[in-house]
Structure 1
Amino acid sequence: MPVPDTEIDIQGVQLTIFILIFALVTLLGFAASRWRAANLDNLDEWGLGGRSFGAWITWFLIGGDLYTAYTFVAVPALVYGAGALGFFAVPYTIVVYPIVFFVALRLWSVSRARGYVTAADFVEARHGSPALALIIALTGIVATMPYIALQLIGIEAVLKTMGLGTQEFLGTDEWPVIIAFAILAAYTYQAGLRAPALIAFVKDTLIYVVVIAAVIVIPYKLGGFDEIFAAADAKFEASPNPNDGITLADAQVLGYSTLAFGSALALFLYPHCVTGLLAARSRDTIKRNMAALPAYSLVLGLLALLGYMAIAAGVKPIVTDGKADPNTIVPQLFDSQFPAWFAGIAFAAIGIGALVPAAIMSIAAANLFSRNVWKAYLRPQADEREQARVSKITSLVVKAGAVATILVLDPQFSIDLQLIGGVIILQTLPAIVLGLYSGWFHRSALIAGWVAGMVVGLSMLYTTENAATGKAHFGGSLYRWSDLGLDTDKTVYPGLVAVLVNLAVCVVGTVVMRAGKVPAGVDRTAPEDYRADHVPARPH
């Protein structure tokens, strides 16, 4: 029997506050072009903010980059639907910073010393392989595109709760999202990385205010955390899925652990994370941020608890076209528990939380195309001005592509694309991360390892089913060992298995290549580059 759609009236107060805050952010975005006035026709200035951001700006920028609107709506939604498994995002954002501390410093230093704008720039110089650099660049672009599209899901969830997104205009009901991204495209084109850096201050301040209010007010109204956990436990006890619960089932432990660890390894390989790091002023700035960024993990843990609060509050997802949208859980919770004016602030925080990372992601993807495709293969003679112009245009194309993805594809399929993106980006780890510490790996072996990792990872994802949704392929982030004929109910994260295969091929391949005296690439970096901490004159 079809499920009737949820009827949501236009919420005037919430919508007004949302529009006012969005307008403020838009003004900040355009004003950012005059912030720290510089020649924005230079790629270093437009794409990396002049590599001049200090500790505070970098903290807000990277925080705004990593903790996206999708995180704020999807993590609680997963907790709401599955329970403890949804908390995997909390340990992985804690584990990631000690790991990245050592990697980020070396990547920042060698990039500063040699003028690299992307990780692919470094790979080309370190391994002496333009082909490998192109693979890394295209991998980054492919993995980033669905990530940008997913930011739209966060905005859509908020718009649905306020009653928008159901009325057609110019032949589409997605017109509010299109307008929002058109405005984002305009000020990002004009101001580059300075726009999301400035807006991140507003975004993160709003997020902290909303989260603190939520974990105080909502539990108080619901009778305390005892009542909240009791309601969640009762729901999962009645679930037909034996793995749903407020604690992990034995079969979930391996999958949960590998998913968290694999996600931690992948996080800072994404181009937008690299862009945030390379925009920092000094090594000391990176050190301070790796020590301070776990504060966001505390917020993420509190956000995850909103999933249990939604259960206790009796919140139901909005249904459109006969399908329930679990990403509307948090907006629906705020709508039911807060006065309209504060719910409007909360919705604005989620909306801006989509714009900041989307801007950085589009800039990062554009930089990869400009430097490692356009200049490397199409226009080797392109100067800094031309590279900046190509990056600006590409950033518009990337945003348009993200919007088209949402318009054409089922949003749930976009989520699956992002899942695939995580496995894909993880296969760049040997060339980038290990390359920062050793030039031993042979360029041909690194390419072979990338191919092997891709084949294994995508094959495992392809055969993963989802009984709840009826999907036969790409149905989840955990692979069942039973699909290999083993008598076990344990699962594992495909990305981690794939990168282990990748590494094994890289090692064996390098030994074979060196034994066969196959010429290796010329390393154009120097040992002192990896410890550099100078700040050259800003180009104009």
Structure 2
Amino acid sequence: MSDAHIVELSVAAALFLLVSGLGFAASRWRRGPGLDTLDEWGLGGRSFGSWITWFLIGGDLYTAYTFVAVPALVFGAGAAGFYAVPYTVVVYPLVFLVLIRLWSVSHVHGFVTPADFVRARFGSSLLALAVAVTGIVATMPYIALQLVGIEAVLKSMEVGGHWPLVIAFAVLAAYTYQSGLRAPALIAFVKDALIYVVVIAAVLYLPAKLGGWGHVFDAAQAKFAKSPAPADGVTLGGSGRVNYAMLALGSALALFLYPHSVTGALASRDRGTIKRNMAALPAYSFVLGLIALLGFMAIAAGVVPLSDGGAPDTNTVVPVLFDQEFPSWFAGVAFAAIGIGALVPAAIMSIAAANLFTRNIYTEFVRPDASPAEEARVSKIVSLVVKVGAVACILLLDPQFSIDLQLIGGVLILQTLPSVGLGLLTRWFHRWGLFAGWVAGLAAGLWMLYRIPNPAKHKEHFGGAAYPLDDLGLHTTTTVYAGMLALAVNLAVAVVATVVLRRVGAPDGTDFTRGSDYLADRDDPRVGDLDLDPAPGS
């Protein structure tokens, strides 16, 4: 290991120790009566104000994998990689009204997960189970992918072996178990401050060092013009525009269906906090656009990705750029920002997955009489299991396979939109119609993903999310995001099945919520858990 890498590792390790200490100290920060309920351990007492929620949700949604994957995609494919920018702009207006309705009804009835809401809204434990299992399956590889960002940093510092990953996640598991959601909420302040500093420094310092923005874009365009593989360059090509738009829209619709996104929102103390955050969070989208430009800067700097088993690992593009162009001490700060950027979302994701298991599987089907303290204890244990599973994905599987699993997870979570998203707006759908649509959407999505190859990576199946419409007999080179096509199948089946079931008089579940529940605010006197007796045939 070179002297420069020793400096980088020392700085990154010091900042990691700092945030680890904050994670353990968080158990005493803004503490309520204790951490022996899901409200306190899993939702921070539902007490976070505007600033804490802003950092928490931002730290939750803008992950370490985003920091390395978005510019890596821009580095390899050009303008197509910028799809992440419009989708994070579109998402906040889309969920503005829906999310505050979810917060209100959850506040009144003590819901901890989106599946809790579905169980009460449609009176179906089976439909709630489907939503819960989908959320857990979609979240697991997402946690694993945070390790990909850490691995890319470690490779750039010439740190070999998996032991640093194991140590990092062991520490993460310990302070999450002790402090719950308060740990990532407190650490998010440090994580976001570091990322803002690194990104602003990068967009001011690197282009000046590389000859200016004009040279950066010229170098990128020259690379894509010579590339034998299909790439858009600095602007989108005609055949990829529909897929770009559908991928951005589908990602926007899916973002707040992920259980960790809901967890961050439900931890807010009132409706006003949600509203202010939906208005302010696009500031992160601005930073994301700057992060994406790092891909073009890497091209201008002549970055060569590190190899992984003989093949270039494009996830190392940003770390290699920082290692190559920044002073050693600041590269260490940048690497710490990426590493800490993995720990915050990983903690929230593991808490959200654990809450889903506890509330919608354990308490619903195993121990219906579980006390609040027992629920919290089970969630703590399951959060550890989830982290172990995430580490196992990286240690035992090809990391590229984890990326494929996350791709599948995005298509899966989108299929919960009718039950969760539309369920917040209307009770028109029949519970069995929603379940049938969910099954059909999953089947269609997985079938399309299976049929998508990636010749560049020598993969016959699960090679991407852009489904060629030519396979449907439309005789065009246009591709469309498979998740949106699967959602269209889901909705069509749910609508038709609902009409048929209503015609034949099939019994529907009971709606345990009231219209006024969706407008309740912090001081509403009706707060309390519902007694959800199993509905007939649920």
Do both share a fold (TM > 0.5)?
yes
- 2: distance between equivalents of 1:13 and 1:241? 38
When normalised by structure 1's length, the TM-score is: 0.96
Question: Equivalent residue for 1:134?
Answer: 129
- 2:245 alignment partner AA: S
Question: Equivalent residue for 2:190?
Answer: 202
Question: Equivalent residue for 1:44?
Answer: 39
- 1: distance between equivalents of 2:452 and 2:472? 11
- 1: distance between equivalents of 2:519 and 2:177? 33
The structure-2 alpha-carbon separation of the partners of 1:346 and 1:62, relative to structure 1 and needing over 3 Å to count, comes to same
When normalised by structure 2's length, the TM-score is: 0.96
| Pairwise CA distance, 1:9 | 8.1
Q: 1:115 aligns with which of 91, 102, 110?
A: 110
Q: Does 1:57 align with 2:52?
A: yes
Question: Equivalent residue for 2:23?
Answer: 29
- 2:11 alignment partner AA: I
SS in 2 for 1:11: helix
Which ranges of structure 1 fall in alignment gaps of 5 or more residues? Answer: 1-6, 167-172
Question: Equivalent residue for 1:460?
Answer: 448
Q: Does 1:82 align with 2:70?
A: no
How big is each residue's C-alpha offset from its partner over 1:498-526, in whole Å with a ceiling of 9 and x where there is no partner? 11111111111111111100010000000
Number of aligned residue pairs: give it: 526
- 2: distance between equivalents of 1:53 and 1:374? 27
Q: Does 1:415 align with 2:403?
A: yes
User: Contact 1:10–1:163 (CA<8 Å) still a contact in 2?
Assistant: no
| Pairwise CA distance, 1:487 | 2.0
- 1: distance between equivalents of 2:523 and 2:268? 10
| Pairwise CA distance, 1:321 | 2.2
| Pairwise CA distance, 1:163 | 1.1
Question: Equivalent residue for 1:3?
Answer: none
How big is each residue's C-alpha offset from its partner over 1:319-378, in whole Å with a ceiling of 9 and x where there is no partner? 132121111100111111110000000000000000000000000000000000000000
User: Contact 2:269–2:522 (CA<8 Å) still a contact in 1?
Assistant: no
User: Contact 2:52–2:185 (CA<8 Å) still a contact in 1?
Assistant: yes
Q: 1:215 aligns with which of 188, 192, 203?
A: 203
- 1:43 alignment partner AA: L
Bigger shift: 67-76 or 316-325? 316-325
Question: Equivalent residue for 1:189?
Answer: 177
- 2: distance between equivalents of 1:10 and 1:130? 57
- 2: distance between equivalents of 1:125 and 1:177? 40
Matched residues, percent identical? Answer: 68
Q: 1:390 aligns with which of 378, 390, 396?
A: 378
Question: Equivalent residue for 1:170?
Answer: none
- 1: distance between equivalents of 2:414 and 2:478? 22
Q: 1:11 aligns with which of 5, 19, 29?
A: 5
How big is each residue's C-alpha offset from its partner over 1:415-470, in whole Å with a ceiling of 9 and x where there is no partner? 01000000000000000111111111100000000001001111000000001111
| Pairwise CA distance, 1:482 | 2.0
* 1:338-417 mapped onto 2 (5 Å cutoff): 338-417=326-405
- 2: distance between equivalents of 1:299 and 1:445? 41
Question: Equivalent residue for 1:169?
Answer: none
Which ranges of structure 2 fall in alignment gaps of 5 or more residues? Answer: 529-538
- 1:154 alignment partner AA: G
Question: Equivalent residue for 1:70?
Answer: 65
Question: Equivalent residue for 2:153?
Answer: 158
User: Contact 1:9–1:163 (CA<8 Å) still a contact in 2?
Assistant: no
- 1:68 alignment partner AA: T
SS in 1 for 2:43: helix
* 1:87-106 mapped onto 2 (5 Å cutoff): 87-106=82-101
- 1:117 alignment partner AA: V
SS in 1 for 2:173: helix
The structure-2 alpha-carbon separation of the partners of 1:180 and 1:10, relative to structure 1 and needing over 3 Å to count, comes to farther
- 2: distance between equivalents of 1:323 and 1:294? 36
| Pairwise CA distance, 1:8 | 7.8
- 2: distance between equivalents of 1:320 and 1:483? 33
| Pairwise CA distance, 1:535 | 4.1
User: Contact 2:271–2:522 (CA<8 Å) still a contact in 1?
Assistant: no
User: Contact 2:469–2:479 (CA<8 Å) still a contact in 1?
Assistant: yes
Bigger shift: 82-91 or 233-242? 233-242
Q: Does 1:299 align with 2:293?
A: no
Question: Equivalent residue for 1:290?
Answer: 278
User: Contact 1:151–1:358 (CA<8 Å) still a contact in 2?
Assistant: yes
SS in 2 for 1:479: strand
Question: Over aligned residues, Cα RMSD in angstroms?
Answer: 1.3
* 1:520-535 mapped onto 2 (5 Å cutoff): 520-535=508-523
- 2: distance between equivalents of 1:10 and 1:466? 38
User: Contact 2:4–2:328 (CA<8 Å) still a contact in 1?
Assistant: no
- 2: distance between equivalents of 1:16 and 1:423? 40
- 2:496 alignment partner AA: V
